């Protein structure tokens, strides 16, 4: 096997590529781009969403090929566990003893064969060609042999019957390509809402790419003007939401000038719920205690402005605090005070009337938006995040006045970072009252038995957000 590391773009511009027709060249370029993404994610720990626009730009693909490359690259990242289970049946050694380039090529080829409409012979031949250019003749022969075996042994259904025939959590994790600990956590969170049978629906929804959702920032833009744009539809639940059916958010002038933003509808609902809980007495000081990159801050800012409240946004990481400032740049100066600090530090503010703690979490509810995220997290993260979530919630409670409200939210339904954190706070803080959050998401069905709320991709079309509303008494 040729172990020589190829130059980064050795699959582009080689004589073999030059001789091909324009269409074949770009089709090969699409697979090369997908390979580059897998390589950067694995070898350089890159975030797919961040590096993919550059890789696509450099590949200079037609729109059709860019769409193919995106489906292939993101799909291969998402479906890794299922693809690996198939590949493991077709190679004669443990997968971690494969050349990493070959492993990625096998994943790309297997994804095309089992999960895309690509003709099988084209999937094999083009992946083998790519293997020759990125890894050499020897590895390409191995790729050829393995992919032919994948084809020979059946389609996706046949392979599922082979590698994950049952419906145990372990088998569902392979069939729907999730780490087993995540499948277990999702099952437990659904169980807490009496929706145990929904597990497959959630796993399926995690694998479906989510469309970008825009938010019209209150006081700056009427959502109606977004609906008038081509390819934009009203959201399902938030009066500020607009779903982008086609195109890219960055091409929309309102997003570029900051009067609109990109924000999942579930996140919008969390901010709107906090703002709509009645409070007795003053309603002049709002705090967003873990604000970066500022999506919820920017929505709260417009609502705070309408009510003449001041909003303080706290974020300890300088670059993320800068993103918060950027998110609120279109509001009048002074609408939001961005403070670069740890939310557990003694802050200048006390006696806040409304506090949002959108806590750092595993992101288990937003897997559909980040194709590789599920493989980056581990249960050990819960052990680190748990104390931070508790301490931040204690801090949030500490800076809220008596009668003021706190929203605790996560983009994860995991019991450990949701109900357990909130229950612990209620036990430790006499007078803290857990409110029924459901009335503050008007018109949203399937919110479960309360008092806390979980939104689900398969039920609500939103990210999997958790919300608890607490009143300090």
Ligand X SMILES: C[S@@+](CC[C@H](N)C(=O)[O-])C[C@H]1O[C@@H](n2cnc3c(N)ncnc32)[C@H](O)[C@@H]1O
Q: Which residues are catalytic?
A: 411
DSSP 8: T
CB atoms within 10 A of CB 216: 26
Cα–Cα distance for residue pair 400/472, rounded to 1 Å: 7
Is 164 or 364 the residue whose CB approaches ligand X more closely? Answer: 364
Answer yes or no whether residue 190 interacts with ligand X by CB under 6 A.
Answer: no
Q: Which residues contact 4 (CB under 8 A, 6 or more apart)?
A: 136
Answer yes or no whether residue 460 interacts with ligand X by CB under 6 A.
Answer: no
**Contact of 47 with 370, CB cutoff 8 Å:** yes
Size of interface with ligand X, in residues (CB under 6 A): 20
In this structure, is the dihedral angle defined by the CA atoms of residues 237, 240, 244 and 245, taken in order, positive or negative? positive
- Kindly report whether the peptide bond that precedes residue 293 is cis, defined as omega within 30 degrees of 0: yes
For the chain, the farthest-separated pair of C-alpha atoms sits apart, in whole angstroms, at 76
Choosing from 148, 344, 369, 370, the residue that interacts with ligand X (CB under 6 A) is: 344
Cα–Cα distance for residue pair 375/84, rounded to 1 Å: 13
Choosing from 126, 198, 265, 315, the residue that interacts with ligand X (CB under 6 A) is: 315
Stretch that binds ligand X, among 36-44, 114-122, 338-346, 428-436 (CB under 6 A): 338-346
Tokens of 316: 């300890």
Is 146 or 465 the residue whose CB approaches ligand X more closely? Answer: 465
- The β-bridge partners of 358 are 409
Answer yes or no whether residue 234 interacts with ligand X by CB under 6 A.
Answer: no
Q: Which of residues 247-266 bind ligand X (CB under 6 A)?
A: none
At closest approach, how far in Å is the CB of 352 from ligand X?
A: 15
Is 198 or 315 the residue whose CB approaches ligand X more closely? Answer: 315
Stretch that binds ligand X, among 218-226, 228-236, 336-344, 428-436 (CB under 6 A): 336-344
Q: Which of residues 346-365 bind ligand X (CB under 6 A)?
A: 358, 360
Burial of 430 (0-12, 13-18, 19+ CB in 10 A): exposed
Answer yes or no whether residue 212 interacts with ligand X by CB under 6 A.
Answer: no
At closest approach, how far in Å is the CB of 398 from ligand X?
A: 13
At closest approach, how far in Å is the CB of 165 from ligand X?
A: 38
At closest approach, how far in Å is the CB of 237 from ligand X?
A: 16
The CA-atom distances, in angstroms, between 221 and each of 72, 240, 260 are: 37, 9, 7
Is 189 or 289 the residue whose CB approaches ligand X more closely? Answer: 289
At closest approach, how far in Å is the CB of 441 from ligand X?
A: 17
Choosing from 173, 267, 330, 462, the residue that interacts with ligand X (CB under 6 A) is: 267
Answer yes or no whether residue 317 interacts with ligand X by CB under 6 A.
Answer: yes
At closest approach, how far in Å is the CB of 359 from ligand X?
A: 6
Strand, coil or helix: 231 = coil
Strand, coil or helix: 430 = coil
DSSP 7: P
In 316-338, which positions are buried (b, 16+ CB within 10 angstroms) versus exposed (e)?
beeeebbbbbebbebbeeebbeb
Strand, coil or helix: 408 = strand
Answer yes or no whether residue 148 interacts with ligand X by CB under 6 A.
Answer: no
**Contact of 295 with 463, CB cutoff 8 Å:** no
Q: Show the site string, 275-314: x = touches ligand X by CB under 6 A, - = not.
A: --------------xxxxxxxx-----------------x
At closest approach, how far in Å is the CB of 295 from ligand X?
A: 3
Is 342 or 394 the residue whose CB approaches ligand X more closely? Answer: 342
Choosing from 139, 343, 457, 464, the residue that interacts with ligand X (CB under 6 A) is: 343
Is 114 or 323 the residue whose CB approaches ligand X more closely? Answer: 323
Percent of residues in the chain assigned helix, strand, coil, to nearest 5: 55, 10, 35
Give the binding site for ligand X (CB under 6 A): 267, 289-296, 314-317, 320, 342-344, 358, 360, 392
């Amino acid at each position: 096997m040729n172990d020589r590391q190829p130059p980064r773009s050795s699959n582009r511009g080689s004589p073999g590529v030059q001789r091909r027709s324009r269409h074949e060249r770009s089709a090969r370029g699409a697979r090369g781009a997908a390979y580059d993404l897998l390589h950067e994610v694995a070898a350089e720990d890159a975030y797919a969403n961040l590096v993919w626009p550059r890789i696509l730009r450099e590949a200079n693909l037609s729109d059709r090929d860019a769409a193919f490359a995106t489906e292939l690259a993101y799909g291969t990242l998402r479906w890794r566990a299922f693809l690996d289970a198939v590949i493991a049946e077709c190679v004669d050694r443990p997968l971690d003893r494969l050349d990493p380039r070959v492993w990625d090529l096998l994943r790309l080829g297997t994804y095309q064969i089992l999960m895309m409409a690509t003709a099988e012979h084209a999937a094999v031949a083009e992946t083998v060609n790519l293997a020759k250019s990125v890894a050499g003749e020897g590895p390409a022969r191995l790729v050829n042999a393995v992919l032919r075996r994948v084809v020979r042994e059946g389609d996706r259904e046949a392979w599922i019957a082979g590698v994950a025939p049952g419906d145990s959590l372990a088998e569902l994790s392979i069939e729907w390509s999730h780490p087993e600990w995540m499948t277990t956590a999702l099952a437990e969170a659904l169980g807490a809402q009496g929706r145990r049978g929904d597990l497959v629906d959630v796993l399926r929804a995690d694998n479906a790419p989510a469309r970008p959702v825009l938010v019209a920032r209150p006081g700056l833009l009427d959502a109606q003007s977004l609906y008038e744009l081509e390819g934009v539809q009203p959201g399902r639940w938030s009066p500020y939401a607009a779903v982008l059916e086609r195109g890219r958010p960055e091409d929309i002038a309102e997003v570029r000038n900051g009067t609109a933003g990109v924000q999942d509808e579930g996140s919008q609902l969390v901010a709107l719920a906090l703002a709509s809980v009645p409070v007795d007495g003053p309603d002049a000081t709002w705090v967003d205690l873990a604000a970066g990159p500022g999506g919820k801050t920017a929505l709260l800012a417009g609502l705070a402005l309408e009510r003449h409240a001041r909003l303080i946004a706290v974020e300890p990481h300088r670059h993320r605090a800068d993103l918060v400032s950027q998110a609120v740049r279109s509001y009048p100066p002074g609408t939001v005070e961005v403070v670069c600090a740890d939310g557990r530090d003694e802050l200048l503010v006390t006696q806040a009337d409304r506090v949002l703690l959108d806590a750092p979490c595993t992101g288990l509810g937003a897997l559909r938006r980040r194709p590789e995220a599920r493989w980056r997290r581990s249960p050990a993260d819960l052990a680190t995040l748990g104390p931070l979530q508790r301490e931040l919630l204690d801090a949030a409670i500490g800076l809220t006045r008596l009668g003021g409200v706190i929203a605790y939210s996560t983009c994860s339904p995991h019991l450990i970072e949701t109900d357990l954190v909130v229950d612990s706070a209620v036990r430790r803080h006499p007078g803290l009252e857990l409110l029924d959050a459901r009335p503050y998401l008007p018109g949203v069905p399937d919110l479960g038995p309360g008092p806390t709320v979980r939104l689900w991709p398969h039920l609500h079309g939103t990210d999997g957000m958790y919300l608890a509303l607490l009143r300090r008494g």
